[in-house]
Amino acid sequence: MGKQKGLFPFTGPLGNKIGYRRGNNYYYRERPQHVNRTIATKKAATDFGTASHCACLVRKSLRQYLPVHKSDTLVNRLNTTFINIVNADTYNRSGQRVPNIGHMHTLKGFQFNETTGISHLLTATPLIEKDDTGKITISISEKVINSRKIPAGVTHFTITAIALSLNFSRHKAQLSTSHTAVIARGEQQSPFTLTIDQCSKELTIVLLEVRSAYMVNGKLHYSDSKTANALDIISVIPPVRPPRHIRRNFRNKTPRCWNIPAYTAPLKQPAPKTPVSLIPLPGD
């Protein structure tokens, strides 16, 4: 691919060229006039489109958090993860595959910030619980922050839990967040719990965001350092389907009559009438 050197870089098709963006650089390549695709290639392209639509739904739902944690490889890494999930569907044929709920657990541990993850900043693993009402609680132990891997100048940290409920068939998402816990660097922190009250019964992805900040004149200012911020998927909760009431089928125990004889009512013949003569007989 050639590098764009014009004043107005572009992405996408433009005439006989297609523009691309990789990081802060723009490239282009010649657009082919005709592409020979086999049936298998078309089916694979359909499955890839399904996976990319699912990844796009996740990115758009978290667009308010991604400017801090987004990396140049986020789109490719998230698409690759969903492609593996879609390809794991063995119930449908190629070209008709959908995201399999049984393989959604592969999203656990995904780092939106490729440089730093939750394991680099936290010393303990969060404990996630969900009750019957849909409330999600994330319990964190007292020793939380790993001070040895924190950049100089950082004085405080904020921890927020995020629940993202997804319905890929309808292309809908619901975002819920907990309160933000503020932890001072070097301060002995007691165990605390983050609670998300409202949560859908659909497939739910639980994320944990850790951001670093520094205190200036009594106000917290967030740091944009990639090494001190993290946004990871820490749990995947499967959808909850309401139980169906199975109605009992009562079987008729009367033996079935397979051959029903035809019944024909006999015709009633009218009684014969005796002729009556009105002419008098002789001798009368």
Helix axes 74-87, 39-61, angle to 10 degrees: 120
98, with CB counted inside 10 A (0-12, 13-18, 19+), is middle
Q: Where are the alpha helices (DSSP H) in the chain?
A: 39-61, 66-69, 74-87, 118-121
- Give tens-digit pLDDT for 90-137: 889 999 999 988 889 999 999 999 888 888 888 878 888 888 777 888
Element (H, E) at 181: strand 181-184
Q: In angstroms, what CA-CA distances link 91 with 43, 203, 270?
A: 15, 19, 75
Closest by Cα among 45, 13, 47 to 30: 13
- Give tens-digit pLDDT for 46-78: 999 999 999 999 999 999 999 888 788 899 999
Let me know if residue 107 belongs to a domain.
yes
98 and 92 Cβ atoms separated by less than 8 Å: yes
Let me know if residue 250 belongs to a domain.
no
User: What Rg, from alpha-carbon coordinates, does the chain have?
Assistant: 36
Using 70 as the pLDDT threshold, list the residues of the chain that sit under it. 143, 147, 198-199, 242-267, 273-284
Let me know if residue 160 belongs to a domain.
yes
pTM of this structure: 0.75
Number of domains in the chain: 1
Domain span at residue 227? 33-237
Let me know if residue 139 belongs to a domain.
yes
Let me know if residue 1 belongs to a domain.
no
What is the per-residue pLDDT for 47?
93
Let me know if residue 269 belongs to a domain.
no
Closest by Cα among 164, 163, 200 to 55: 164
